[in-house]
Amino acid sequence: MMFKRSSLKWLLAAAAALMLGGAQARPFDEIKKDGKIIIATEGQFAPFNYFQGTKLTGFEVDVAEAMAAKMGLKVEWKALGFDALLAGLRQDRWDMVIASHGITEERAKAVTFTEPHYCSGGVIVAKDAAIKTAKDLAGKVVSVQTGTTYLENVKKLAGVKEVKNFPQDTDARGALLTGRVDAWVTDRFVAKQALEANPSGGMRMGDFVFVERIASAVAKGNSSLAGEINKALAAILADGTHAGLSKKWFNEDIRCK
C-alpha cells in the first residue's frame, strides 16, 4: 500500500470537496478550535470600515472585534473590493463579512445574514439646494457605488436620467464634488461624515430614498456560526458595548429600534 491510512482519508475528503464544487464553510467548532475568525470588509466606507493610514478601523471593525471577543476568538482581517466580499463566503475564503450590507432577499439567496448591527438607509446628497427628494432626481444624473442597495433603489426611481456607478463609494462622492453628477446616494451616516469632513465642498443632505437593516453575513447555511455571532451581538447590545461604540462613532445610538 502506497498511502498511509490518513493520507487516503485526506484524498477522499479532497475528492469529495472537489465534487461538491469547493471548500466547505467552517462551522463554529472548527473556528473555535483554530482560535481565530477570518473576517472580510472593504475598508473604503468611513466611518463604518476604513483605513486610517494602514490601520483598518471604523464602527464595524470595533463591533466585529467586540463580538469576536465575546466568542473567545481573535480576528484575522481581510480588506477587499466590495463586490468580492459576499462571493468569497461561498468560496470559503473567509468566515464572515461585515461591510454595511443591507439585508435583501436577493442577497439572502446566496448568503446567511445575522441579526442587524445597525439600521440606516440611502440618502440623497447634492450641491444644488433644489435636489432634496426622490422626485427631485427626475432628469438628473446620480452616482452610486456598484453592487449596492443604493444602485438597486435609485434604478427603481422613475425619471432619473442616468445612474453612474463606481467601484468605490468614495469615487461616487468624488463625482458629485467635481460636478460630474447632480446627486450622490449613499448611507446616511457616511453622508453625514462626508459633509462634516468637507464643509467647503458645498454638499447638502436631502431625504432618504429607502431604509435598510445592516447585518454581517456568513456562508449560506453556516448556521452554527450565524448563531454564535447572533449571541455575541445580543451580548454587546445588552452590556452597553454596542451603545458605547455607537456613541464613540456617531454620537447617537444607531441600533435598529
Q: Could you list the residues that contact ligand ARG (CB under 6 A)?
A: 42, 44-45, 49, 82, 99-102, 145, 148-149, 169, 187
Considering beta carbons, is residue 121 or 206 the nearer one to ligand ARG? 121
**Closest separation between CB of residue 173 and ligand ARG, Å?**
11
Q: What are phi and psi of 214, to 5 degrees?
A: -105, 130
**Closest separation between CB of residue 101 and ligand ARG, Å?**
5
Q: Which amino acid is at 165?
A: N
Considering beta carbons, is residue 28 or 189 the nearer one to ligand ARG? 189
**Closest separation between CB of residue 183 and ligand ARG, Å?**
16
CB count within 10 Å of CB 135 equals 11
Asked whether the beta carbons of 213 and 108 are under 8 A apart, the reply is no
**Closest separation between CB of residue 93 and ligand ARG, Å?**
17
* DSSP notation for 199-251: GGG--EEEEEEEEEEEEEEEETT-HHHHHHHHHHHHHHHHSSHHHHHHHHHHS
CB count within 10 Å of CB 205 equals 16
What does the DSSP 8-state code read for residue 23? Answer: P
Considering beta carbons, is residue 145 or 241 the nearer one to ligand ARG? 145
What does the DSSP 8-state code read for residue 45? Answer: E
Considering beta carbons, is residue 28 or 166 the nearer one to ligand ARG? 166
**Closest separation between CB of residue 241 and ligand ARG, Å?**
22
**Closest separation between CB of residue 159 and ligand ARG, Å?**
23
Which residues have CB under 8 Å from 177's CB, separation 6+?
A: 198, 201, 203
Considering beta carbons, is residue 83 or 239 the nearer one to ligand ARG? 83
Considering beta carbons, is residue 99 or 225 the nearer one to ligand ARG? 99
Using the structure block, give the residue that is written with the C-alpha cell 464613540: 248
